[in-house]
Structure 1
């Protein structure tokens, strides 16, 4: 009880210090200053201004280019008659860049040898002033779409950035071609009935285990069902990989800790955004704000169950994207316009991940899908289950070897306080750190003098 009172006293002191720090005349956060940019990884390539001389993209490799406002870059891919193909583009404006909602974006298109459009996608910035990686793919299916998209040959890939952007800088672009092996016996039928309308599963509870998100798709750490914690700087996007098998669905909630008595969180309901992507980097679901007044700011996504037949669904791209098993991705962004006036450091974020549903057998491929970037390994299936250290007891407070898990958890709590007639989000980890260290010291060496 004494320790809890000390922690509460630390919170009160943190709030008091933050109220002073946020007083008139005090410098607050400056947009996305200090935010880490998306980290592109791959072979450098220069897209052409037209089809003649366009460089080729090889399956399974990642390439890096850049694109300016109003530019259109050309590339080529060689496809057979039997395999589905997915060409993804990830455009990454600098954190804090001036961008306009539904005006800034890119368009990726895949065209057959005779110029028919086989697939296209146009990811766009959804909130003005929030620059984050834009990702999606253009795909070719061998048993749907224009007839010329079923033939073998060299296909054209174009990536185009909209003109008139308020951001004059060139955006790094990451390109990747993934070729899905053909299925033995051909197509496996239509999308399962009700695959897009099942209520979302309950998010998991329990201790949040630290896990730092990656700076892109290529370095995203693997998460399974469980509660995870990270720290994100305003303007940053962190990536996480979640293995999802046939018949399973991905559900996730990203939240910032808040005082339940604070009625101002409606001002911060879009402080967090989250997007889910499939193994080929296609957009599977956009997050939606899920907090009520007085609740922690949070956003959530829930996908349809994975089924091969989803690719033929008429209910929308969010179901069609759930067409193969493999490593799915969550991208969580902390939006500078909502939090920059109140924060000048990284923010603790909790990610509640659930892989719901029993794994089922999938279609039989002609080749090993894992070699092409699809499907799951034995290690993936183990990781998709609950974190091994958290599986035994959701309610336990100590992690392996720590002895002070509640002190560590205290370091990841965000305090809220009212300032003047408006209410602002404030951060006081300094006093929390001090309190936690004092408590840890008392546990190891006995109470220090004056405690």
Structure 2
């Protein structure tokens, strides 16, 4: 095991249609999408891309030193690359009041050869080169190529007074490699965020008492909810049982909105298979990331053809004061907002049990009592990153349509946008379907 948003305009008539009508609209939109999109060679060959980057990610090249470090702005997502050797540099211009975070998601190619000690290291240093934070994440026993993320932070803290000053901070990203590692170039997605100070200073120590018992997992058949293929396309889920299909080598992303005071328990289960035999080590991996995409914890399970589960160890309820906790997995539970679950099925499973797809069941339980926030003296960047809205809760609960991700029109919009259809084509498709629905409803009156 390795070591450690914006409201959309919606025409009223469309969204007052029955669930079955919305389902028909979405299905038709998806069919239209399939008809007009050019085929992607990798997908046609049965080898899905390992990760889908945010549509608004800005391309940026990391510098070779602090002198040519590429500037990053809080509230923005970037796409970059990491060479097999050497470190690359980015910069952050920060004030002397806000905390800042940078998450770096590394995406090896699907044919990369990985070792347990391979991974990435992210560090933040002040203008004098003194360390503010350091995080290293490796692939561990799950050596299948998959996205992993490490994060750096600049905290306003009495423990690091040298990092309290306003100025330019250096963000350094580099590979962690073993002697016989394949030093190919990896793609990167970077996400920067800022957290304002509190209006009033509160406790400066972590909560000492919280319920650390593992609850009984939820039971039932579950609702179909196919996962996304990146942080930006993560599919919302709340408390419940969710099912999906997953193929070897694929990583599925989900996001769980958590209020202050709420506690998350999650388990991923891989269904049984009679199509092969043998033992796949580290076959299933369930990883948890916080709202700024900082790694929290993960769990893995081996596979022998029988039903197996990977369950996260108990975590504390979301609290601002968790940042003062010593275990990193507790410290990372410091924000309200969307927490991300990334489920990966090792490519090695295909060698023993075929290409699948395999049945995946995600069981999510929420405990604790929602509480008021700590009272920020300003706005974060992005503005909604540490908030849970009514829309977030509604999307996580689903509307029962049972199509795609379970969120009706949003699923179709995501497919169309990510697939690259122009805005004009999208508008025509959507308006055309709405007209058909409206005419049918009028004819039925």
Matched, 1:285 2:297: yes
Q: How far does residue 160 in structure 1 lie from its aligned partner after superposition? A: 0.6
Matched, 1:48 2:63: yes
Task: Give 1:256's aligned residue.
Answer: 270
Task: Give 1:35's aligned residue.
Answer: 48
Task: Give 2:361's aligned residue.
Answer: 350
- Contact kept? 1:96, 1:129, Cα under 8 Å: no
Q: Distance in 1 between matches of 2:395 and 2:111?
A: 34
Task: Give 1:305's aligned residue.
Answer: 317
Q: How far does residue 167 in structure 1 lie from its aligned partner after superposition? A: 2.7
- Contact kept? 1:313, 1:320, Cα under 8 Å: yes
Matched, 1:215 2:229: yes
How many pairs align? Answer: 353
2:161 corresponds to which of 147, 151, 162: 147
Task: Give 1:374's aligned residue.
Answer: 386
User: Partner of 1:199: helix, strand, or coil?
Assistant: coil
Q: TM-score, normalised by structure 1?
A: 0.73
Q: How far does residue 52 in structure 1 lie from its aligned partner after superposition? A: 0.5
Q: Distance in 2 between matches of 1:236 and 1:96?
A: 13
Task: Give 2:329's aligned residue.
Answer: 318
Alignment of 1:37-436 (within 5 A): 37-41=50-54, 42-102=57-117, 104-127=118-141, 129-163=143-177, 164=179, 166-195=181-210, 198-258=212-272, 267-268=279-280, 270-289=282-301, 296-301=307-312, 302-314=314-326, 316-369=327-380, 371=383, 373-383=385-395, 386-387=397-398, 389=400
Unaligned runs of 5+ in 1: 1-31, 390-398, 402-451
Go from structure 1 to structure 2 and tell me whether the alpha carbon gap of 1:148 and 1:272 turns closer, same or farther (over 3 Å shift): same
Go from structure 1 to structure 2 and tell me whether the alpha carbon gap of 1:329 and 1:85 turns closer, same or farther (over 3 Å shift): same
Q: Distance in 2 between matches of 1:157 and 1:273?
A: 28
Q: How far does residue 168 in structure 1 lie from its aligned partner after superposition? A: 3.3
Q: How far does residue 115 in structure 1 lie from its aligned partner after superposition? A: 1.4
- Contact kept? 1:116, 1:146, Cα under 8 Å: no
Q: How far does residue 97 in structure 1 lie from its aligned partner after superposition? A: 1.9
Go from structure 1 to structure 2 and tell me whether the alpha carbon gap of 1:317 and 1:265 turns closer, same or farther (over 3 Å shift): farther
Go from structure 1 to structure 2 and tell me whether the alpha carbon gap of 1:98 and 1:152 turns closer, same or farther (over 3 Å shift): same
Q: How far does residue 232 in structure 1 lie from its aligned partner after superposition? A: 1.3
- Contact kept? 1:307, 1:322, Cα under 8 Å: yes
Root-mean-square deviation (CA, aligned residues, Å) is 2.5
Q: TM-score, normalised by structure 2?
A: 0.74
Q: Distance in 1 between matches of 2:352 and 2:116?
A: 20
Task: Give 1:395's aligned residue.
Answer: none
- Contact kept? 2:102, 2:192, Cα under 8 Å: yes
User: Partner of 1:371: helix, strand, or coil?
Assistant: coil
Q: Distance in 1 between matches of 2:213 and 2:73?
A: 40
Q: How far does residue 371 in structure 1 lie from its aligned partner after superposition? A: 0.7
Unaligned runs of 5+ in 2: 1-44, 404-445
Q: Distance in 2 between matches of 1:73 and 1:220?
A: 28
Q: Distance in 1 between matches of 2:135 and 2:260?
A: 25
Q: Distance in 1 between matches of 2:64 and 2:108?
A: 21
User: Partner of 1:319: helix, strand, or coil?
Assistant: helix
Q: Distance in 2 between matches of 1:295 and 1:54?
A: 50
Q: Distance in 2 between matches of 1:238 and 1:400?
A: 18
Q: Deviations over 1:297-334 (max 9, x none)?
A: 110114221111000112x1000000010000000000
- Contact kept? 1:247, 1:359, Cα under 8 Å: yes
